[in-house]
Structure 1
């Protein structure tokens, strides 16, 4: 848990801070879910205690992202028992980013907090988020300072991604910051104006700006069940993030192409001079094949990078909705 001293955080906007108080404010929790039936009881138990301790009006928006187990049925049962719980069932599995977008679009609170249902985002940390929101910060995000609950491979790849993203993008996202954060209403309204289909929410959270501050915490293991994010999904997620906020991969191939052209020119000049000085010679088959195969491999890699951007452009041009809702429960008609 973070230190409670205000000295640990930068100074917020005093004008904004003077107008904020949790009394009379509403908190919206947004929880995307995919096959989370094993953790629901523990999740709602801790969320309920957290809301009571905060003493605020609250809603818990649960988005079922095409689960294959009975997650949706159990969510609907919880919604019937607790009026604070609202359920959005998506027509199929659209992915976590789309599910989170659906929840943020539906949230009506003055404060909106995306949170994972597996309880690796400790609900008790929301108290510190709200306190800093009252001080004037528009975004308060959690920073995972200890990820020992994750595997070595996941920790290594996550750290590598953050470093690569911040190096190649004009936008900087905080190291080890996830989706777990509190956002003021005006930040949410700004997010809702962003229409792109390939959504990398961590980048969008940073792109909209506003005053932001991080709160360190220790990431606990999952309360139950298994993650739906395999390494292939994480790789695709990383590619979406980089290509959504950087054109450096395209510029790299422009530089490589120019460099290859310059080298080829000097090599051609050298061959001409060599023939003029020592006469014609038979070129080596091995060296010729190496050059051909290497050039072919480089071209295919360049086409692959270009294809990533063209594919995302294709998705945006079609203009399909980010998600489709098949069922809603607990919302006022």
Structure 2
């Protein structure tokens, strides 16, 4: 780790004119107090319709530690974060929303955990003040449903407020996914992860831009990205239906119409097709077959032999490698 690491903060913004001045003031005050750290802030205007871009230019005042990105239109929250990650230069990158529901005052604790050796430090919500009962309940149920169905570990009750080591940022920036689901991608990568609990605050100004349609779209993206359950559902339904039909014939000795058997067979066949489509989906995403945590001995070209243990015994990843690159090195 550099003696004076650079901490980047990526802040996606969409119609946040009303709160940006307070956000920038609190954020920069926290970053300037970080011990032995340099900092930068990357604001990403995700096609705002209000005066967000003008406000950003005004409140940042040509600060050399601030970079501004403006997307041509509203591409979406995950795409805006990805644009910021690709532009950030920090040894560690914090992603957070602009509405101050994610308190900037938690950043020093995230950085402290990173310095202790963790590659991913997520902020885990213990409460969601200012949000409707419907949103709180549906979010609680969704995260647990996703964790139960996903074929990879999923962090519960965490959004996009987290710190990522440079090795994790590099991996996410290289993934060729047109519809990224960064929360799932971070979990999929498998880097050492810890969490810090916090109470999510009500927004001080403006209103939420996450409509029911956008929440449903993000939920769909997460489920399809992290879980094979949607592709396997037809096969499960078909097998269950055929099993029930067979039991009915065996126990009650009732003849069932041909349509009952046909439905079960069709559902099983659809499930098999779903499995092939899932394989195609995985290949089209272009993710590497694995992520390399460390290497002994180092590759030619000056890479270290292995990670330097932190005081608590944890290690930080050194490199991200694709399978083809590893085979070439051998």
**Do both proteins adopt the same fold according to a TM-score greater than 0.5, normalized to the shorter chain?**
yes
Partner of 2:94: 113
- Specify the SS of the correspondent of 1:119: coil
The count of aligned residue pairs is 276
TM-score by length of 2: 0.75
Deviation at 1:69, TM superposition (A): 0.4
Cα distance change on mapping 1:274 and 1:115 into 2, 3 Å: closer
What does 1:167-182 correspond to in 2, within 5 Å? 167-182=148-163
Deviation at 1:264, TM superposition (A): 4.5
Deviation at 1:83, TM superposition (A): 1.7
Matched, 1:166 2:147: yes
Normalized per residue, the structure richer in helix is 1
What do residues 132-164 of structure 1 show as CA deviations (whole Å, max 9, x unaligned)? 111111111111112233221111011111111
What does 1:105-254 correspond to in 2, within 5 Å? 105-254=86-235
Deviation at 1:249, TM superposition (A): 2.0
Confirm or deny: 8 A CA contact 2:21 2:59 kept in the other structure.
no
Deviation at 1:58, TM superposition (A): 1.2
Cα distance change on mapping 1:53 and 1:254 into 2, 3 Å: same
Matched, 1:27 2:7: yes
Q: Choose the corresponding residue for 2:31, options 39, 51, 57.
A: 51
What do residues 157-213 of structure 1 show as CA deviations (whole Å, max 9, x unaligned)? 111111110111111222111111111111111212211122111111111122111
Cα distance change on mapping 1:253 and 1:131 into 2, 3 Å: same
Confirm or deny: 8 A CA contact 1:141 1:181 kept in the other structure.
yes
Deviation at 1:259, TM superposition (A): 2.9
TM-score by length of 1: 0.74
- Specify the SS of the correspondent of 1:37: coil
Once residues 255 and 30 of structure 1 are traced to their aligned partners in structure 2, the CA distance between those partners, rounded to angstroms, is 42
RMSD between superposed Cα atoms in Å? 3.2
Partner of 1:84: 65
For structure 1, the 5+ residue unaligned runs are: 1-19, 276-282, 318-333
Once residues 270 and 117 of structure 1 are traced to their aligned partners in structure 2, the CA distance between those partners, rounded to angstroms, is 62
What do residues 261-314 of structure 1 show as CA deviations (whole Å, max 9, x unaligned)? 34456667899x779xxxxxxx9xxxx9xx99xx7xx98xx89x96xx79x959
Deviation at 1:64, TM superposition (A): 0.6
- Higher CA-based Rg: 1
Once residues 188 and 130 of structure 1 are traced to their aligned partners in structure 2, the CA distance between those partners, rounded to angstroms, is 15
- Between 1 and 2, higher relative CO (CA 8 Å, sep ≥ 6) is seen in 1
Confirm or deny: 8 A CA contact 1:28 1:59 kept in the other structure.
yes
